[in-house]
Structure 1
Amino acid sequence: MPLTNPTLEGYNVVRNMWMKYYNPLKGTFIAPQKCNGCYNDDRFVIWAVAVAVQAVVDSARIYPEMIPLIEPSIRIFQKYKNTQMKGFSAAENGGADKDIYYDDDAQVASCMLTAFEVTGDKRYLDQGRELVRFLMGGWNDDPHAVTKGGVLWHVSKTYLNACTTAEVAKCCLQISKFIPNEAQHYIDFAAKCIDWQIKVLQDPKDKLIMDGVHKELDKVDDAKWSYNAGTTLSCASHLYFITRDDKWKQIATQLAQTVIDRNVTIYDRDYPMDKRYWRDSSYFVQLLIEGLADYLLYMGQEAPSELPDKIHEEIQRHLIMFYEYSRDPRDQLYIQSFEPHKTYNENKQKYIDHFEGKKDVGLKSEDCDSNGNSQKCLMGCGAAARCFFQGARVVPRIG
């Protein structure tokens, strides 16, 4: 059966994910067997939990029957909280673990703020506000740093990276809507983050966002991931909507045009132009799709006339490809790969026929168990649902 309703597909993934992973007796997500994203035999790192919880909240925005899942989902995060620092550790802990990543916590904050937006429950706004304040403390204000500014990746490391800086900015813009008397403080901080992102990490040649830089160095890690462009695009678009400053409009439009240019490195360019696709895993691509949807939302009629149709085309063909190659028809859940050759053996001939057999077919290691058999994981399922929910903002129906 072809994909026709991305929103319904997202709903089905969340429902199946919840039944497979959520354990009401433990009050958290439990892996039936160790899989990608587990830090021990059955518990997931907070990044995986945040992606899954955001998918739950996304589903509840559209399907009211999913609203009762929000409260137990948000409550899971408390198992990871460092009660002294007010941040959330990568693993469940007794309240003092300091293995805290600012980018993971930004995704947690976004879950809390979206949960408030969907339910109106002020508890989630209060939790989100406390966490956003913690995140803002990750700004690099070391006077001895070679590279000034940027948000740290981890509380005890010196790396300043794109995902952290943009995701923290994204949370600041998100919460600015809900606390008017503090709004300008958050907006100014977000603008400072994205200014740094463009000045320090944007490649002047292809306009993609590079990964990061250590604060004691000036050499940038030039790896380019789709989600770094996606989160920066979300923020620049939102900043333009709030400030009406043409600077943000120019940055956002340039980024939107860049991430759908099939010549840039976030695409697999081993194929003819009409068959090229975003090469990252779904947990990165979901944030790229969200960035494009945010661009169209915040730019409205001010987007260049041809760009909305091009964005629509690009998201639609990627959703169809993802559905056809990464979905397991046996349980309707998804592996993390977004690449059509990193798929099940049953899809080998379909890949050969459409993509001319350019690459060997086989699952990625993150989508396999220790015996090489296909295996789903919490983050892959949450990311898949988010790809469809965010994609549906641009492509509500297919066919």
Structure 2
Amino acid sequence: MKLWIVLLATFQIVNGLNYKETFDSLVESIWSDFWYDDKSSWSSNNKCVDKFNYPVVWDQAVAGRAITEHLDQDKIRSVVNNLKDYLNSDGWFSSSTAKDNDVYIDDNAQVLWVLVDAYQFIGDVECLNIATKLMSNIKGQQIQGGGVRWNLNGDYVASISTSEAALAAVRLYQVNNDQSLIDFATSQMDWLFDNLQDPSDGLIYDGKVLSTGNIDKGKLVYSVGTMVSTLSYLSSLTGDSKYYYKALDLLNSALNPKGAFYNSDGTWNNPLKYSHLLFMGISDLITVYTASNKVQSSQYQKFISEMEFQANHIFENLQIDTNNYVDNTKVFKDSGNYCNGKPVTGLMDNVSAAQIYYAMSRVA
């Protein structure tokens, strides 16, 4: 049985909150509220609105991964088939069902994660074949020396497209043992640290414009999260602990309460659609590359405590109604976005919350 399946069996109860049960309950509600059987597709709108709308492929990918983590074979097959509605003739997943060249590399990397999970769990060889072709496409968007373009043949190299492409590579390596994928992932990590790390706080800038060399100095948690995940896999797969220590340093920078990612009340200031990748990064560090000494164990307990604080804040304050999540409850309430007395939330906020509870269920 695959490690990621075994890990899902663990769960943690903190302050009465069972993360595994919370995750399972939320996924079932998401399926009930956003999946249309007659369309064989997700909708970005809650069914109560009765206005079907195809989500962008990014939302599809995050929702798809929540389903693969839920381990329901029929649902996995359904979401994989739905993803194919975005697959164009060049092997890319377009942003919409137009199947055109409106392609974002980071979105495609997330789709690849879903395909690898689906292959591991249901053994669908077509998933592996599509993922292999997609990885070849992604590698073709690497600039000289490392770094991956944000959109197809674009002028911007983003930290998120680079880190998510690297994570896609190590995830695919797990099922095909292609050494070139490890080489690709390590070159992306090297490029990020060499070109986009802020020496003042250790965090990662958003990206670089190729034509001018200008750096966008914005910082978001998702780049850190996917880098930590990738470095954790590289440590485990290569046996080289330097990647682990890079991940540890990066994570300590991200979790500085006086740093870029914190509100004054100690909560993270990024939206759910970004934050869930930091939760996943921490859980990958703890579960993929497991510590064996007390110093690391103590450090991990600090990480877990921080995750618990953030997750419980989300459960208590961003849950507008049972199994309905929004990033800003005040803005949502003022908008009057209700249907038959129930709040109408979006697909992405809910599947991101599900990913957060899944990450928590792994760090028992």
Counterpart pick for 1:167 among 149, 164, 168: 164
Shift of 1:90: 0.5
% identity of equivalent residues? 25
Q: Distance in 1 between matches of 2:278 and 2:138?
A: 22
Q: Does 1:81 align with 2:81?
A: no
Q: Distance in 1 between matches of 2:187 and 2:362?
A: 28
Counterpart pick for 1:332 among 323, 331, 337: 323
Q: Quickly say closer, same or farther: Cα 1:387–1:364, change in 2 above 3 A.
A: farther
CA contact (8 A) 2:220 2:270 kept: yes
1:314-333 equivalence runs, <5 A: 314-329=306-321, 331-333=322-324
Secondary structure of the corresponding residue to residue 314 of structure 1: helix
Secondary structure of the corresponding residue to residue 278 of structure 1: coil
Which residue identity does 2:28 align to in structure 1? R
Q: Does 1:92 align with 2:62?
A: no
Which residue identity does 1:48 align to in structure 2? D
CA contact (8 A) 2:156 2:210 kept: yes
Structure 1, unpaired ranges of 5+: 61-65, 142-147, 344-360
Shift of 1:374: 5.0
CA contact (8 A) 2:116 2:131 kept: yes
Q: Quickly say closer, same or farther: Cα 1:116–1:267, change in 2 above 3 A.
A: same
Q: Quickly say closer, same or farther: Cα 1:235–1:223, change in 2 above 3 A.
A: same
Q: Distance in 2 between matches of 1:34 and 1:11?
A: 20
Between 1:103-112 and 1:149-158, the stretch displaced more is: 149-158
Which residue identity does 2:269 align to in structure 1? R
Which residue identity does 1:384 align to in structure 2? A
Provide the aligned length of Structure 1 versus Structure 2: 345
Shift of 1:201: 1.0
Shift of 1:32: 4.3
1:49 alignment counterpart: 60
Counterpart pick for 1:306 among 292, 298, 315: 298
Counterpart pick for 2:143 among 140, 143, 156: 140
1:8 alignment counterpart: 21
2:203 alignment counterpart: 208
Q: Quickly say closer, same or farther: Cα 1:79–1:197, change in 2 above 3 A.
A: same
2:38 alignment counterpart: 25
Which residue identity does 1:286 align to in structure 2? H
Q: Distance in 1 between matches of 2:210 and 2:232?
A: 27
Q: Distance in 2 between matches of 1:82 and 1:3?
A: 46
> Alpha carbon RMSD of aligned pairs, Å?
2.4
CA contact (8 A) 1:368 1:375 kept: no
2:12 alignment counterpart: none
Q: Quickly say closer, same or farther: Cα 1:31–1:226, change in 2 above 3 A.
A: closer
Q: Distance in 2 between matches of 1:325 and 1:138?
A: 40
Q: Quickly say closer, same or farther: Cα 1:33–1:20, change in 2 above 3 A.
A: closer
Shift of 1:24: 1.6
CA contact (8 A) 2:46 2:346 kept: no
Instruction: Name the TM-score, length of structure 1 as normaliser.
Output: 0.81
> What do the CA deviations read for 1:43-63 (whole angstroms, capped 9, x no partner)?
211111111111011111xxx
Shift of 1:369: 4.5
Q: Does 1:293 align with 2:296?
A: no
1:282 alignment counterpart: 272
Which residue identity does 2:324 align to in structure 1? L
1:69 alignment counterpart: 75
Q: Distance in 1 between matches of 2:81 and 2:290?
A: 36
Q: Does 1:179 align with 2:176?
A: yes
CA contact (8 A) 1:256 1:295 kept: no
Q: Distance in 2 between matches of 1:194 and 1:220?
A: 17
Between 1:71-80 and 1:213-222, the stretch displaced more is: 213-222
Q: Does 1:264 align with 2:254?
A: no
Q: Distance in 2 between matches of 1:382 and 1:75?
A: 18
Which residue identity does 2:275 align to in structure 1? V
Q: Does 1:128 align with 2:131?
A: yes
Q: Distance in 1 between matches of 2:45 and 2:225?
A: 32
Q: Distance in 2 between matches of 1:173 and 1:140?
A: 19
1:216-235 equivalence runs, <5 A: 216-235=211-230
Q: Distance in 1 between matches of 2:103 and 2:333?
A: 28
Instruction: Name the TM-score, length of structure 2 as normaliser.
Output: 0.88
Structure 2, unpaired ranges of 5+: 1-14
2:358 alignment counterpart: 389
